[in-house]
Structure 1
């Protein structure tokens, strides 16, 4: 017999840890951009697509209501994505500060309105997942769209890798590590069968599992690309740089 009380606690704990990681995942990237005063190598399109994926994630999970941390998580993800996208406009596209604020504010306002407008009509049909009369295909479609945007958003970095022979430039590895960890913990939280507030077993959220697996898989490819670049090129560059420094020291 499934201990749903235990499962609910474990799922909430894992989801909470995942949410905490996702609360800070983009902060290293934001700090790196600020310190460098540049977003070179960080695709602007990736952040905008991620922001809208977060909007769709928010609709999906706020209607689905798996657990509180997973309902909050997409909103934080969206906020951080918009902040980083604003840096891309300011540092990369050379927008003025005022223009950046205006553009980002308008996009955020539109996105918030879109999310609210989608959640209200979906709640009545999607909250009854366990009812045979429920019609949840719009929610499933939204979840699929979110997954597609996440995947598409991670495609531009691969073009950057191709341009730079596989080297990662401008993307903070702590950001990738935190992002992957948060996604995997959120995925793990969905593996435990849970109950709703009335004590009824919730339907397995397979779509949510897929969504949280896509991120670490795509980001692992980015890390692997940089590692291969280091083996092929970066290691020899470091050796050459070291030899030059030693030569300078001897000539002094």
Structure 2
């Protein structure tokens, strides 16, 4: 397979997976009508991370899929953040929609301005502004995931987050990472952006295995063992103390009120 074709295919796969990554989480939040354990700050950080990531991918002329991906990430992150406001803080629907629209306008204006500024800097052979964009996006994405690490440390469990969502996001980061590797030139900063988040998601999987899966397996094993254990019945009483003992003849006579015959 030609390298440009592989780059586009892998980039598209990574972008599609990263674009729909939050949909399972959004559906779960809607079905259970709460966002307990899901960190709203993480969603807001991700929404903000889409701005420098979009600037970097567009100015560096990544494939089209990777240019669109940050925009979808920002939108879905804000939708999930609005769910945290609605279910967690009991904001009204109108207030949530207004918050999303306002932030989209702010983020869109900032990204558009930065794209023109970064292109101008690139035309004058200035690399540090783009490096700053790459580092900023990596830090914001990483900080969002690290917020869940703190919640795991406090509660000793992975809660409020869909492992299906984690798996989709990790796969998206992996495909995007490989797509950058297959580019005409290996972009180290692009590898750092997607590689950092991939490693952090793998850590979430490990924590889920330790704090969620292993206790679940142990509990099921103990329950199954208790069900299979034979039940020991208490010993039957002896004949002298049997509850089924009939009264003697003399006792019957006395009960009837008849005189006892010697």
TM-score bin (small chain): 0.7 to 0.9
**Structure 2 match to 1:225:** 207
Query: Which blocks of at least 5 consecutive residues in structure 2 are unaligned?
Result: 229-262
Does residue 185 of structure 1 match 2:167?
no
Does residue 168 of structure 1 match 2:164?
no
CA distance in structure 2 between the aligned counterparts of 1:118 and 1:245, rounded to whole angstroms: 65
**Structure 2 match to 1:249:** none
CA distance in structure 2 between the aligned counterparts of 1:91 and 1:6, rounded to whole angstroms: 48
Question: 1:243 offset after TM fit, Å?
Answer: 8.0
Q: 1:233 to 1:74 in 2, by over 3 A?
A: same
**Structure 1 match to 2:36:** 40
Q: 1:193 to 1:219 in 2, by over 3 A?
A: closer
Q: Deviations over 1:13-40 (max 9, x none)?
A: 1101111111211100000000011111
CA distance in structure 2 between the aligned counterparts of 1:70 and 1:227, rounded to whole angstroms: 31
> 1:144 is matched with which residue: 135, 150, 156?
135
> 1:107 is matched with which residue: 103, 116, 124?
103
Q: Deviations over 1:81-104 (max 9, x none)?
A: 111111111111211111111122
CA distance in structure 1 between the aligned counterparts of 2:218 and 2:59, rounded to whole angstroms: 53
SS in 2 for 1:41: coil
**Structure 2 match to 1:84:** 80
**Structure 1 match to 2:217:** 235
Does residue 93 of structure 1 match 2:95?
no
Question: 1:193 offset after TM fit, Å?
Answer: 3.8
Does residue 69 of structure 1 match 2:65?
yes
The CA RMSD over aligned residues, in Å, is 2.2
Question: 1:231 offset after TM fit, Å?
Answer: 5.7
Does residue 49 of structure 1 match 2:58?
no
Aligned residues of 2:158 and 2:212 also touching (Cα < 8 A): no
CA distance in structure 2 between the aligned counterparts of 1:184 and 1:121, rounded to whole angstroms: 30
Higher relative contact order (CA 8 A, sep 6+): 1
**Structure 1 match to 2:243:** none
> 1:159 is matched with which residue: 150, 168, 193?
150
Per the normalisation by structure 1, the TM-score is 0.84
Aligned residues of 2:19 and 2:72 also touching (Cα < 8 A): yes
**Structure 1 match to 2:2:** 6
Q: Which is greater in Rg?
A: 2
CA distance in structure 2 between the aligned counterparts of 1:244 and 1:93, rounded to whole angstroms: 43
Aligned residues of 2:46 and 2:141 also touching (Cα < 8 A): yes
